[in-house]
Amino acid sequence: MTFSSLGDIISKIIDISVVWVMFYFILKNLKNNVKLVLIFKGVAIIIVIKIFSSLLNLNTIGMLLEYIISWGPLALIIIFQPEIRAILESIGRSQLLGRHKVLTVDEREKVVFEITTAVEYLKRNRIGALIVIEKNVSLQEYIEPATKIYSDITAPLLEAIFFPNNPLHDGGVIIQGDRLTCAGAVFKTSMNPNVSKKLGTRHRAALGVAEESDAIALIVSEETGRISIAVDGQINYNLTLEEFKLMLLDELKPKMEVFYDADSEEGDLDE
């Protein structure tokens, strides 16, 4: 094998890898964005109709579709400019190897204990709260204008922040690793039309940040005291305290540890 052929192979591997990375980010954002799903469906329908029109010699429909295909991309860019910009911003904020601190088992359990203790108090007293835990996608755009704290996570601190007379009560807090980074953060609300109209601004803000990032958003309802978790563009509503704790522990596990646990369980079953 010559150096020239080896270089060609490496070049092709890099080329294919870049294409797969692009598809990965497109599909990842497609899954969490309702408007992009609609765009994708519309494009798929046009392609299917175009194929059928060619097979059945439907010249008029084929000609119209040719115009749509020619000018469609430009129209989509103009109409859906905010969504496209959001995707590019999301890609810019993401880091392939992850940026958040990987917590040890003890650190993770301490974080979950402090958050769960605070949530239990907030639930009992019907005090609204929004706690967002950053993972691989940076939330710097929300941290920057918020009130910086950079403190250890403790239940009394969270309870004090969300106390009704506190000026930071209406915003959310952002956690990075085992540190509480800021309070009073304001998030974009979800525009998903399928979301129940009964959900208030706090729940919609939690769902919004879960749609555009991989963050974990924890919500305590001010009206009902119900607790929920928004993650991966979905909201898990009205959880029990035990369900809340177990789900939070599971979501905070590093991916490798999740795979390891699954393999261990399979081994136990085989025995």
The pTM score is: 0.64
Domain boundaries, the chain: 3-93, 105-257
The tokens of 35 are what?
């408007």
Q: What is the dihedral of CA 263, 268, 269, 271, to 10 degrees?
A: 130
Which run of H or E residues covers position 176? strand 172-176
Indicate the average pLDDT of the chain.
81
Phi first, then psi: what are they for 152, rounded to 5°? Answer: -65, 150
How many angstroms separate the CA atoms of 103 and 178, rounded? Answer: 7
Read off the pLDDT of residues 51-105 as tens digits, 9 standing for 90 and up: 887 788 777 877 887 777 777 777 777 766 666 666 665 555 544 434 456 778 8
pLDDT digit string, tens, across residues 251-269: 998 765 444 454 544 444 3
Domain 105-257: homologous superfamily in CATH: DNA integrity scanning protein, DisA, N-terminal domain (3.40.1700.10)
